[in-house]
């Protein structure tokens, strides 16, 4: 089961047919998952060279410095890659008020599943999105 | 910026055009990210009904009870959903020897990026894949 990609120390990220690789961002201190997004090669290179998380927005089809509007940038502490080299895990430190989610919450994962319903497990808003984002 | 999906307490998972939703699995105790995979609706329903992580293998195009061969199953403690309801975060407890990765390591994210190279940050093998998987 061991292939080159799994044991290699050469970084050879696998981008999908759209040129994207999934990127999980977690809090470097607590390991809590903050958000999930995608990077293209340019976003990954910018993330590495600047030390600040850059992403590719699939909805806006644009390179995106995370927190550019909100000030909620994420400083990179470590970038890990999975066994198949087709997923990245970015360990980051919150800048700004510490909200990775555009709803103003620390993490995008603030609701848990209970059967067919959701319940909110974190409703602390670190900023008011209405103060920052305009429709 | 607040839409129905973000504040709703109705679970309405967004599956992609292939009928899949990304699923991040983390350790319920430590929050450490263990693996990244996908679920289809059936895998999600089985995960919920059995309390054990089930996935959809894109390479084998098959439903897959995680750990079926290796015994390294993952018991579900909580399933979280992100703001857009298009990503799941499964908090799970390791069964077996505690290796979520098919290379025998606890997590699939055992290498970190340093420039264009990787270095191994976790080389503990909790089982020998050669003992379990046949080519």
pLDDT per residue rounded down to tens, chain B (135 residues)? 446 789 999 999 999 999 999 999 999 999 999 999 999 999 999 999 999 999 999 999 999 999 999 999 999 999 999 999 999 999 999 999 999 999 999 999 999 999 999 999 999 999 998 887 765
A18: burial class by Cβ within 10 Å (0-12, 13-18, 19+)? exposed
Q: What's the gap between Cα A86 and its chain centre?
A: 15
- Give chain B's count of helices (H) and strands (E): 3, 8
The pLDDT, as a whole number, for residue A5 is 84
The Cα of B1 is separated from the nearest Cα of chain A by a number of Å equal to: 6
Q: What's the gap between Cα B132 and its chain centre?
A: 20
Structure tokens at B92: 């799970």
d(CA B28, CA B76): 8
Asked if A8 and B82 come within 8 Å (Cβ–Cβ), the reply is no
A78 chain-B contacts, CB cut-off 8 A: 112-113
Nearest to B32 among A10, A31, A101 (CB): A31
d(CA B56, CA A60): 28
Task: Report B:9-28 residues touching A (Cβ under 8 A).
Answer: 9-11, 22, 24, 26
A115 chain-B contacts, CB cut-off 8 A: 48
Structure tokens at B53: 């992580």
**Pairing assessment for the beta strands A54-57 and B62-65 based on DSSP bridges:** unpaired
The Cα of B41 is separated from the nearest Cα of chain A by a number of Å equal to: 13
**Among candidate residues B28, B26, B55, B61, the one with its CA nearest the CA of residue B40:** B55
> Which parts of chain A have pLDDT scores under 70?
1-3, 134-135
Three-state SS string across B93-112, please?
EECCCCCCCCCCCCCCCCEE
Cα separation values, A67 from A36, A57, B73, Å:
14, 13, 37
Are the CB atoms for A38 and A58 separated by under 8 Å? yes
Nearest to A112 among B35, B36, B80 (CB): B80
Are the CB atoms for A81 and A11 separated by under 8 Å? yes
DSSP helix/strand/coil, A90: strand
The pLDDT, as a whole number, for residue A49 is 97
Give the number of beta-carbon pairs within 8 Å between A and B.
130
Task: Report B:29-88 residues touching A (Cβ under 8 A).
Answer: 30-33, 35-36, 48, 78-84, 87
The pLDDT, as a whole number, for residue B134 is 63
d(CA B57, CA A78): 28
Domains of chain B in sequence order: 15-132 (3.10.20.810)
d(CA A13, CA A78): 16
Nearest to A1 among B79, B109, B133 (CB): B133
């Amino acid at each position: 089961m061991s292939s080159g990609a799994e044991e290699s120390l050469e970084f050879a990220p696998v981008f999908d047919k759209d040129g994207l690789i999934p990127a999980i961002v977690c809090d470097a201190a607590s390991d809590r998952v903050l958000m999930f997004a995608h990077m293209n090669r340019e976003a990954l290179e910018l993330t590495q060279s600047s030390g600040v998380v850059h992403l590719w927005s699939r909805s806006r089809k644009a390179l995106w410095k995370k927190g550019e509007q909100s000030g909620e940038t994420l400083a990179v502490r470590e970038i890990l890659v999975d066994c198949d080299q087709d997923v990245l895990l970015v360990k980051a430190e919150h800048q700004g008020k510490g909200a990775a989610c555009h709803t103003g919450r620390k993490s995008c994962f603030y609701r848990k599943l209970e059967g067919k319903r959701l319940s909110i497990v974190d409703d602390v808003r670190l900023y008011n999105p209405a103060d920052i984002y305009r429709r």
